[in-house]
Amino acid sequence: MKKILIVDDEPHIALVLKQFLERAGLEILTTLNGKLAIDIIKKEHPTVIITDVQMPIMGGIELCETLQRIMPDYQPLIILMTSRLDRDIRNWVKQHMSVNMMEKPLSMRRLLAKINNHLANFKA
């Protein structure tokens, strides 16, 4: 089964996302920051990574940049979540076409549609 990793330092947000996506029949992994996510990603190779932009220990953008550096051939769908979409974040996302942006509060239906679309087109 294709795995989805949720990376958020707010456990209640990760739990809500996890429960919603599990009800949709998806296998979910969770962790609290980008640094911990790296180890999970190396081991599990999730097909989709949903990550918060701002976290105290390695935020979402730093996680993406680290993955590009240490696993350049790894191409998951990455969805960055943010409550504050500023110009710097917009510019960074424009330069990284494999990264999607969603503003909080998230539309769960829109999130699920993005994931399902990616999974339908994913070649294992």
DSSP notation for 58-91: S-HHHHHHHHHHH-TT---EEEEEES---HHHHH
> How far apart are the C-alpha atoms of 41 and 7, rounded to whole Å?
11
For domain 3-122, give the fold: Rossmann fold (3.40.50)
Per-residue pLDDT band for 56 (boundaries 50, 70, 90) equals very high
pTM (predicted TM-score): 0.92
Bridge-partner residues for 100, per DSSP? 79
Could you report the per-residue pLDDT of 16-50, keeping only the tens digit for each? Answer: 999 999 999 999 999 999 999 999 999 999 999 99
